Amino acid sequence: MPRLAALLITFCIGVAATLIWQIYGEMTGISSPQFAQQQLNAIALDVGAIRQNVDQLTASQERMAQEIAKLQAVEQDILQKISGSPPRSEAATERKPVPR
C-alpha cells in the first residue's frame, strides 16, 4: 500500500508540474527547447526528492509497526501474568487456623 501511495503522489506531482509549466509557458511566451529541458531537470530533481521522502516515511512506518507489535506482545504477556496469578483479595482472606 505505501508503494501505491508513493506512485500516486509522484504521478500527481508530475501532472501538476506539467500543467504549471504549460500555463507558465503560455503566459510568458517561453517555449524554447532549452527552457523545457531546464524545467524537466527541475521536475526530475523534485520527483527524486519526493521519492526519497516517501521511502523514508515508509521505513519509519515499518519501524513504528514493529515497535507497536513489540508493545502489544509485552501487553499480552503482562495480561497473561496478571490473569495467571491469584487475585490479592483471595490470598489476603485465606488464613490458617490458629492452633489452641
Considering the chain, what percentage of its residues have pLDDT values greater than 70? Answer: 75
Domain ranges for the chain: 2-80
Residue in this structure with the C-alpha cell 515497535, named with its chain if needed: 67
pLDDT of residue 88: 59
User: How far is it, in rounded angstroms, from Cα 48 to Cα 9?
Assistant: 12
pTM listed for this prediction: 0.45
Alpha-helix runs per DSSP H in the chain: 2-28, 33-84, 88-93
Phi-psi region of 59 (alpha: psi -120 to 50; beta: other; left: phi over 0): alpha
Question: pLDDT tens digit string along 15-61?
Answer: 888 888 777 766 655 556 777 778 888 888 888 888 899 889 999 99
- Is pLDDT at 94 greater than 60 in this prediction? no
Q: What amino acid occupies position 73? A: A
First to last CA, the chain: 75
